[in-house]
Amino acid sequence: MKTKILIIQTAFIGDVILTLPVVQVLKKQMECELDFLCIPKTADLLKNNRYVDNIIIYDKRARDRGIKKLLRLSNRIRFKKYDIIISPHRSARSTFIAYRGKSEMSISYDISTFSFLYNKTVKYIKNIHEIRRNLKLLVPLGIYEDSIIKPEIFCSESDGKVVSLLLKKYIISEGDRFVTFSPGTVWMTKRYPPDKFIRLLDLLTDKNFKVILIGGKEDIEICRFIKEKTINQDVFNSAGKLTLTQSAELLRRSSLLVTNDSSPLHLANSVGTKVIAIYGATIPEFGFYPYGKNDKIFQVNGLKCRPCSIHGLNKCPVKTLDCLERIREEEIAEEILKSISSSHQELS
């Protein structure tokens, strides 16, 4: 009989992507039925995943998100009689769900809220990549994997057709070079200022490649503003037009991605596209850095105020935003042009 396993990860898009290697390793090393509990926004990442048997969706932001809904969900989890529940997510809700699931083994980090309610905990190790950190949760199962395993994103044939139509609309033919920009992020102190993105795009005018702005519905306005203000006529705005797997397919075809410290970074890494990442309030040492051999990080070292937060803040505590303002657009433009030139030579 297959071992029944539940993974609980109800955090953001990037967190789900960086949890996928746990799923992949479990499926390859154990005879198991594996379910994944996530929020509606991230479910698209899992719908075609060959390693996930069932997706359980928990809408934390719904009107009826109170204790009754949580009890109904945890009762559903208990009814499924999982042998193992693993929670990379460290919240009290995740602990509550895992505890009420009454599995033979429940695993999370030693710093998870109410961690004593898990019957196995793993030390949360700082200063290593999140993928390696999450894989440590498998040690109680006798699985020792310490490498950065690339998350697998499964894009459908339909996703490919949608992206092909979008590129056709932007007059980008197969084989044409284009760059993707992701200027949005939830937190203001992680967001390279729009005027600097505009200046960066201006510097890339008439360089014989096009730029596609990407993002979710929440990024439509910032992408619209940037496109309207840049003098670069080869910029197109796809924000809000693509699902997560369609965005992954677009990134796969892109020459490179320019992004803040946000989920598109991890999406690009998963499909093997070069990343140019801009770090402001946060630092790569938190474990959420790009790991491609040609990836490039731009950040301001030596600031006493940095990092000011693990996740980012809605306003700069010292009111200067020096961590982002001091990153020069010219240096990023130079790296983009160098990367484009290098990829062109490889194709020649």
Q: How far apart are CA 223 and CA 213, in angstroms?
A: 6
Q: How far apart are CA 269 and CA 56, in angstroms?
A: 26
- Alpha helix stretches (DSSP H) within the chain: 13-17, 20-29, 67-80, 92-100, 130-135, 157-169, 194-203, 220-229, 244-253, 263-270, 322-325, 329-347
CA-CA distances (angstroms) from residue 318 to 98, 225, 265, 282, 314?
40, 26, 27, 15, 12
Long-range contacts of 108-117 (CB under 8 A, 24+ apart): 108/137, 109/137, 112/87
Question: CB burial class (10 A; 0-12, 13-18, 19+) of residue 157?
Answer: exposed
Per-residue model confidence (pLDDT) at position 342: 75
Residues in the chain: 348
Contact 223, 213 (CB under 8 A): yes
Q: How far apart are CA 9 and CA 290, in angstroms?
A: 21
Query: What are the residues facing 57 on neighbouring strands?
Result: 38
Per-residue model confidence (pLDDT) at position 65: 63
Quick check: do 3-141 and 157-347 share a fold? yes
Write phi, then psi, for 310 (nearest 5 degrees). Answer: -70, -40
Q: How far apart are CA 173 and CA 346, in angstroms?
A: 18
Q: How far apart are CA 92 and CA 95, in angstroms?
A: 5
Token pair for 6:
């539940």
Q: How far apart are CA 301 and CA 111, in angstroms?
A: 28
Per-residue model confidence (pLDDT) at position 174: 83
pLDDT in tens, the chain (348 residues): 899 999 999 999 999 999 999 999 999 999 999 999 999 999 999 989 999 999 999 987 766 667 888 899 999 999 999 999 999 999 999 999 999 999 999 999 999 999 999 999 999 999 999 999 999 999 999 999 999 999 999 999 999 999 999 999 999 998 889 999 999 998 999 999 999 999 999 999 999 999 999 999 999 999 999 999 999 999 999 999 999 999 999 999 999 999 999 999 999 999 999 999 999 999 999 999 999 999 999 999 999 999 998 888 999 999 999 999 999 999 999 999 999 987 655 544
Single-letter amino acid, residue 343? S
Per-residue model confidence (pLDDT) at position 62: 67
State pTM to two decimals. 0.94
Q: How far apart are CA 301 and CA 326, in angstroms?
A: 10
Residue-range domain boundaries for the chain: 3-141, 157-347
Residues 6+ apart with CB under 8 A from 170: 178, 210, 212, 236
Per-residue model confidence (pLDDT) at position 64: 62
CA-CA distances (angstroms) from residue 311 to 19, 95, 105?
17, 21, 30
CATH number 3.40.50.300 is the correct assignment for the domain at 3-141: no
Per-residue model confidence (pLDDT) at position 32: 97
Which superfamily does CATH assign the domain made up of 157-347 to?
A: Glycogen Phosphorylase B; (3.40.50.2000)
Cis amide linkage into residue 151, ω under 30° from 0: no
